[in-house]
Structure 1
């Protein structure tokens, strides 16, 4: 993602500074690799329980769901989640877009009819996100960072909005541990850019600690 000198002056994030934070990025990658590897091992019983619950509700459908997302510099990758919706959820989306609960380039619907019974539970406690530890292990995502958007969402982004794509996307972030799904797109963007501008080891650890609290005390996930 290239910016002219004039455009750099109008951006909220110091792009050049972020591109030269080598020590922080290397340290973050090492931490992500080790933590995701340990997380996958420790949480394997949870994976088994969630997978079993999904299969009991729908013996035919798959346990996991892979969706193409855009990461750092708009690089495409498949993001993994536990399936929380009916099998043909993507085909039904077009009819639901007009019922979007938030403004801007993302879709959120509080009473989404595509979500299964098990899906509502695992979404509430963010258990559907656990398979993204594989994406972290592979280096496609970080534990902390802006959420990776869909290609159709980025198609609606302005150059200002695309600043959230100058860093590696994350499993959790600042807006997830604060306003969560109650955030509008503009508020999510503001919090993502605030994170990018102030990110560091201590800030990442603060977000991770508060993410653990969200597992036990959900803050508006749906």
Structure 2
């Protein structure tokens, strides 16, 4: 840079800030650039949240007759509660109540201790799954096969605990056994469906679930979410990997 160029640089950038108007223009330009940066960084999250709220509210209204039918069938089955709430871990480790249609017997949590030894994911010891879980009711197997037991999570999406698309929210006891690498799943808001829900569901072991969730986190955008949602219904109807 020669002397003339240095002088021009001082004229355009240094001398103006010596005056009140110049300092005001410089501050205004700073806040304008900062606003642009924030919009670029957070714009995707705002769009995702807007879509989540609108879609979940619409789905809850349209599916309300189906909720009534399912609720009546669950109630007639054994007289127990229709809904089941469970503490799950969300974004950055925040715990929340996740809602499901009850698909298990009334004393399912007590029976869990007896079934731990039969865990098909026992090699990793983080998630729990057994074939033909005796705690699941006859109606519950049908609900799970079609993922109808997950419909109340639309309410979790509506109030902002969850998103339509994102890693499935783990149980606190599972998170306690996470490695540092596994905690990457908690970097975003959990969802109802994600890559491993359309790629085999519970047939995928825990390590495979983590890899798919991290892939989603690193590549996520609005169009990826739409593609996953479009593939979710065929995956559910196929029944592959349903518990």
Using structure 1 for the length normalisation, give the TM-score.
0.89
Cα deviation, residue 199, structure 1: 0.7
Structure 2 residues not aligned, in runs of 5+: 1-39
1:153 equivalent in structure 2 = 174
Q: How far apart in 1 are the matches of 2:75 and 2:185?
A: 36
Which residue of structure 2 lines up, in the alignment, with residue 189 of structure 1?
210
For residue 28 of structure 1, the aligned residue among 39, 48, 51 is 48
Measured on the aligned residues, the alpha-carbon RMSD in Å equals: 1.0
Structure exhibiting the larger radius of gyration computed from Cα positions: 2
**Residue in 2 that maps onto 1:97:** 116
Residue 190 of structure 2 is aligned to residue 169 of structure 1: yes
Distance, in Å, in 2 between the alignment partners of 1:94 and 1:52 is 30
TM-score by length of 2: 0.81
Alpha-carbon distance in 1 for matches of 2:241, 2:176: 27
Name which of structure 1's ranges 100-109 and 188-197 shifts more when overlaid on structure 2: 100-109
Which consecutive unaligned segments of at least 5 residues does structure 1 have? 1-19
Equivalent residue for 1:111?
132
Structure 2 CA distance for aligned equivalents of residues 177 and 159 of structure 1: 26
Query: What per-residue deviation string (whole Å, max 9, x for no partner) do you get for residues 30-72 of structure 1?
Result: 000000000000111111111111111112x100000000000
Shift of 1:154: 0.3
What is the CA deviation profile of residues 121-142 of structure 1, one whole-angstrom value per residue up to 9, with x for unaligned ones? 0000000000000000010000
Q: Aligned partners of 1:217, 1:99: CA distance in 2, in Å?
A: 26
Corresponding residue for residue 83 of structure 2: 64
Match of 1:80 in 2: 99
Contact 1:125 1:214 in 2 (8 A): no
- Cα deviation for residue 21 of structure 1 reads 3.5
> CA offsets per residue over residues 80-100 of structure 1, 9 Å max, x none?
000000111111111111111
Deviation at 1:119, TM superposition (A): 0.3
Higher helix content, 1 or 2: 2
Measured after TM superposition, the shift of residue 179 of structure 1 is 1.7
Matched residue count? 202
